Amino acid sequence: MSNPIVKIAIMVFAGIAIVVLQVAVSRMLVKKMFFTPKAEKPVQEEKEHHQGIGDIYTLEDLVINPAQSGGRRHLLVSIGLEYHHEGEGEESGSHSGGGEGELTGVGAELQSLEPVLRDNLITLLAGQNINILSDIKYRERIRKSLLEAINFYLYEGQVDRLYFTKYVFQ
């Protein structure tokens, strides 16, 4: 019973079983923490005082192949990012990624970070299961997660709201 090949085989299978168990548990925890629908909370007063609609920076046509879709399904998303200027007297309006208008503050930062933001958003959405992406009850959770991911990269200010201007799941 002291055959070294048997001992090695047992250790390899035990290692594989532990890794599979860790992956399953971590996936379950992430799903429960971030994508389990909860009862709707009453809407808090928006940012303590209503600033009105700010500028909108758009990220057009993000194409995502969701997890476990085998490349047979895809999500086409366009996102509008609303932000407000800190200073007074700055122009307001809508800006599209790669637009020709001169942006300042958060808008300029969004424009310079667009490749990073697009990659991050595609990665976050592609990691989600088809059932989560296609179910409307998870939409607000997805919006919140994406907004937090975008604001993580910003130093000049922050994005106040995220709008799905296109959400096509096929």
Residue spans per domain, the chain: 1-36, 51-169
pLDDT at 94 over 60: no
Helix axes 139-153, 4-35, angle to 10 degrees: 100
* Model confidence pLDDT, tens digit, residues 21-46: 777 766 766 666 555 555 444 444 44
**What confidence score (pLDDT) does residue 101 get?**
60
- Distance, CA of 149 to CA of 146 (rounded, Å): 5
Residues 6+ apart with CB under 8 A from 39: none
- Please give the mean pLDDT across all residues of the chain: 77
**What confidence score (pLDDT) does residue 88 get?**
43
Instruction: List strand residue ranges (DSSP E) for 11-106, in order.
Output: 55-64, 75-83, 94-96
**What confidence score (pLDDT) does residue 45 get?**
45
What is the arithmetic mean of pLDDT over 101-116? 82
What is the arithmetic mean of pLDDT over 143-153? 88
Q: In CATH, which superfamily holds the domain spanning 51-169?
A: Band 7 domain (3.30.479.30)
Farthest CA pair distance, the chain? 82
Reading phi first (left if > 0) and then psi (alpha if -120 to 50, else beta), residue 52 is in left
| % of the chain surpassing 70 pLDDT | 74
CA dihedral 38, 84, 82, 61 (to 10 degrees): -140
What is the arithmetic mean of pLDDT over 46-60? 71
The DSSP secondary-structure symbol of 68 reads T
User: pTM, whole model, 2 decimals?
Assistant: 0.62
Answer whether 108's CB lies under 8 Å from 156's CB. yes
**What confidence score (pLDDT) does residue 91 get?**
47
